[in-house]
Chains A and B, each alone.
Chain A
Amino acid sequence: MVSELAPAPGSTTIEVALKIWRYDAETGEKELKRYEVEAPDWVTLLDVLDIIKDKHDGTLAYRKSCRMMICGSCGMRMDGAAVLACKTRMYDIAKSGHVPVISSMGNMPVIKDLVVDMEPFWGKIRRMKPWLDPGYEEPLEKERIVSQKQMNVIHKEALCIMCGCCVSECNSMESDPEFFGPAALAKGMRFVGDVRDQADVARLNDYNEEHGIWDCTRCYFCNERCPKGVDPRDAIAKLGAESIKQGVDHDMGAKHAKWFVHSAKTTGWLRETELVPKTQGVVEAIKQTKFALKLARRGKVPPPVPPHVADRIHESRRLYHLVKEQGRDGALGIVQGEHALGRIEFAEQAAAKTSDPEVRPGVKPPPAAG
C-alpha cells in the first residue's frame, strides 16, 4: 500500500514504549523485552530502535540503511504485521498509549532479534532467472524502442525493493515453505510483462510448476503489507492470465480457473459438480468419491443436470466472444488501477503509438483532474 499522510514533524518530545522479541542465536533464548524511551515527535520505528540501541541496549540487532523506504533493509513485524521500520511514524501510536510488539518478519528463520535469514528469499528470486532474456536479437547500437505504455505494464513490479514484507505474511508459504512467494513471482512478472524479454513461454512453464503461480492462496496479505504498492497478488494474477493466454495451462489451478470461464459463458453460474473432474481429472474425481458422497448427502453436490442457467445467458456468451475479439488478453487485461498511468491501451508489438498528449517539462500542464 502507498503512504498515508503522517503528522508534520514538530519540535516536541514524546514518550515511546515498545516490546521487542529478543532472540539470542548463540544460546537459543527468546525473550520479550520492554523498552521506554524519550524521542522527538517525528520519530519512526527505526529511529526508536536506534535510540534503544545507542542509549539503552547496544546488543539489539536489526538491519537498516537508507531510512527513506527505498533500500528494503528494515522489514520487521509490528503487532504481527510486517512493516518497514523507517516508514512507520510513531507519533499516533505513542500518543494513544498503545505499546506495540516488535518481532522479526515471518516465514524466514531468525538469525538474531529482528534480523532474519534472507537466503531462502534470495534463492527463490534467483529461481525466477531474474535478468532480461532478449533472445537471439542482434545487439543494437542505441536503445530499444519501447513505448511508455508498454513499460507501464511492469511499472508496479519494478517498484519492488525486496524488503520481504509480502513474504513475511504469505499464508500459502506458511503452510508450504517451498512456495515461490509473492516477491519472487512479482519479479517473474516484471520479466514476463517486459516486452523486451523473449523468454515468456519458458518462464511461464517454469513458474507454473509445483510451488509456483497456482500455489497462491489469494489471501491478499502481500498486497496489504507491501510498503511500495507493488501489489504482488495482482502480479501473480497477471502471470496466471498470461499463462492461460499462452497455452501454458496444464496445472490444476489453471484448469480450475478455466472451468469458471466455461461455466460463465455457458450457464452463467459455476457448474460446481463438474469442477472436481474438470480440475483434477476423472481419476482423482473417482478417488474423491467417498468424500463427494458425504457432501452429496447434504445436498452440497448439486446435480449437473438440469444445469442452473442464468437468464439472458446469450448476453454472457456474446460478451465472451466480443471481448476475445478486442484482444485484451493475458496480463494486459488486468487493469492496474491507481496513478495516472493506470490506463493500459492495447499494446502493439511494434513501436509506440499513443493518443495521449505527453506532459512535457517546462510546459504548463492542463489543470489536474484531482
Chain B
Amino acid sequence: MKRVAYYKGCLASLSAKELDSSTKALAPKVGLELVELDAVTCCGAGDIHEAEPDYYLHLNARILAYAEAEGCDMLLTVCNVCTLNLRQANWQLKNDEELRDRVSKNLQRVGAPPYSGGVEVRHLLWEIAEGEGYELLKKSAHRGLKGLKIAPFYGCQILRPSKLLGFEDPDRPWSLERIIEACGGEAIDYPAKVKCCGFPIIQAREETALGELIQPIEQAKEAGADALVTPCPLCHLSLDAWQSKLKESTGKDFQMPILHLSQLVGVAAGLDESELKFKRHVVSVTPVLEKLEV
C-alpha cells in the first residue's frame, strides 16, 4: 500500500461529498492508503492566486508542509484546480531559494511546519492511469462497465499549462480513455474534451460560461455517450448542477449524467450507493445504473 497525504479540497468536503466518499472507498482497492490532513485550507482555486498572490503561495506551501510533516512524499489530489495550484506553488518555491526561505520562515512563525519541497503533488487520475495503480485498477474493476459509452472530459487545469502538469500531452491526452477501457467501458472521442467547462466564470459571466459549457455536453451527446466522466469537481459542478441552465438558454434538455472519476471506477469496482452517493447528483445517474444493472 502506498501511503499518501490526501488533499480533498473544498468541494469534496462540502457540496461534492460524493467525490470524497467514493475516493475513500476506492483508494485501498488501487493500493492507496490515504492520510487525511485536517489542518489544511483551501488551495485558493486560482482565485486567491489572483486576489492575494502571496497569501496563495503561503497557503499552498502550508498544505505541502503538513503533508511532509505526516511523513508523506506524495500529496494526492482529486481536483484539477487544486492540482494546478499546488503544483504551481511547489514549482515556484522549488525554483527560487530566497522565496522558499521567506515562505518557510513565515510558516514557522505562525506555528506551521516548514516547507522544504519534499512532496510531489499528483492527481488520483495519474496514479491509476499507469503503473501499479493501473494494474490494481484492472484487477478491481471486476464489475465492469459492460461497454457503457463514456465521454472523457479532462477540462483545463489537469492538462495546461503543460510545463507545470506535464503528465500527458495536453492536446492528445490518454489517461481517462485508458481508465474507461480498463473498466470495461467504451471511450467516446469528441473535440471539446480538452476545452473549458466555464466554471471559473460561471457566476461572474454566466452567459459566456454557458457558451463554453454546452460544447462538451452537446458533442458527447451527439457522439452517443451515455455519460461524461471528469477528474475535476468544479467541472462536475458546472456540467451537472448547471446543466439545467442550458435548457433555459437553448431549449435543449440533455439529461447527460456526469460522473466523478472515482465514481466511474468505483461503480466498475462494485462500490455501493452509500459510497458512490449518486443521489447527490442533480442530473440523474439512474439511466447509467440501469444499463449497468446495478
Among listed A7-15, A111-119, A137-145, A310-318, interface-contacting one: A310-318
Whether, in the assembled complex, B17 has its beta carbon less than 8 Å from a beta carbon of chain A, the answer is yes
Nearest-neighbor residue (CB-CB) of A328 within chain B: B54
Q: Is the CB of A258 within 8 A of B38?
A: no
Q: Give complex CA distance A150, B167 in Å.
A: 35
Q: Give complex CA distance A233, B161 in Å.
A: 10
Q: Give complex CA distance A221, B38 in Å.
A: 34
Whether, in the assembled complex, B279 has its beta carbon less than 8 Å from a beta carbon of chain A, the answer is yes
Whether, in the assembled complex, B185 has its beta carbon less than 8 Å from a beta carbon of chain A, the answer is no
Residues from chain B with a CB closer than 8 A to the CB of A276 are 203
Quick one: CB contact mask for B49-70 with A, threshold 8 Å, 1 for yes?
A: 1111111011100100000000
Residues from chain B with a CB closer than 8 A to the CB of A253 are 201, 204-205
Q: Is the CB of B244 within 8 A of A319?
A: no
Residues from chain B with a CB closer than 8 A to the CB of A172 are 196, 201, 205, 208, 212
With A335-B96, A343-B96 given, is the CB distance from A319 to B55 under 8 Å?
Answer: yes
Among listed B104-112, B133-141, B173-181, interface-contacting one: B104-112
Whether, in the assembled complex, B10 has its beta carbon less than 8 Å from a beta carbon of chain A, the answer is yes
Q: Is the interface of B mostly helix, strand, loop or mixed?
A: helix
Residues from chain B with a CB closer than 8 A to the CB of A52 are none
With A217-B209, A319-B107, A342-B95 given, is the CB distance from A264 to B14 under 8 Å?
Answer: no
Whether, in the assembled complex, B187 has its beta carbon less than 8 Å from a beta carbon of chain A, the answer is no
Q: Give complex CA distance A270, B50 in Å.
A: 16
Q: Is the CB of B111 within 8 A of A175?
A: no
With A220-B161, A224-B160, A343-B96 given, is the CB distance from A323 to B204 under 8 Å?
Answer: no
Q: Is the CB of A219 within 8 A of B53?
A: no
Residues of chain B at interface, number, CB under 8 A: 72
Q: Is the CB of B162 within 8 A of A1?
A: yes
Q: Is the CB of A218 within 8 A of B157?
A: yes
Interface residues of B in 176-223 (CB under 8 A from A): 191, 195-196, 198, 200-201, 203-205, 207-212
Q: Give complex CA distance A1, B171 in Å.
A: 14
Q: Is the CB of A272 within 8 A of B205?
A: no
Residues from chain B with a CB closer than 8 A to the CB of A179 are 208
With A176-B208, A300-B241 given, is the CB distance from A214 to B282 under 8 Å?
Answer: no
Q: Is the CB of B51 within 8 A of A217?
A: no
With A301-B15, A316-B41, A337-B91 given, is the CB distance from A279 to B203 under 8 Å?
Answer: yes
Residues from chain B with a CB closer than 8 A to the CB of A268 are 40-42
Quick one: CB contact mask for A143-154 with B, threshold 8 Å, 1 for yes?
A: 000000000000
Among listed A55-63, A192-200, A237-245, interface-contacting one: A237-245
Whether, in the assembled complex, A40 has its beta carbon less than 8 Å from a beta carbon of chain B, the answer is no
Whether, in the assembled complex, A50 has its beta carbon less than 8 Å from a beta carbon of chain B, the answer is no
Q: Is the CB of A310 within 8 A of B41?
A: yes
Whether, in the assembled complex, B274 has its beta carbon less than 8 Å from a beta carbon of chain A, the answer is no
Residues from chain A with a CB closer than 8 A to the CB of B38 are 310-312
Residues from chain A with a CB closer than 8 A to the CB of B209 are 175, 217
Complex partner residue of B52 from A300, A323, A343, CB under 8 angstroms = A323
Whether, in the assembled complex, A69 has its beta carbon less than 8 Å from a beta carbon of chain B, the answer is no
Among listed A126-134, A182-190, A291-299, A360-368, interface-contacting one: A291-299
Interface residues of A in 196-238 (CB under 8 A from B): 214-221, 223-224, 231, 233, 237
11 A-B residue pairs with CB within 8 Å? A1-B161, A214-B204, A215-B205, A224-B161, A241-B53, A260-B42, A264-B48, A310-B41, A333-B54, A334-B53, A335-B92
**Top 6 A-B residue pairs of the complex, sorted by shortest distance between their CB atoms:** A175-B211, A333-B53, A219-B196, A220-B160, A268-B41, A270-B10
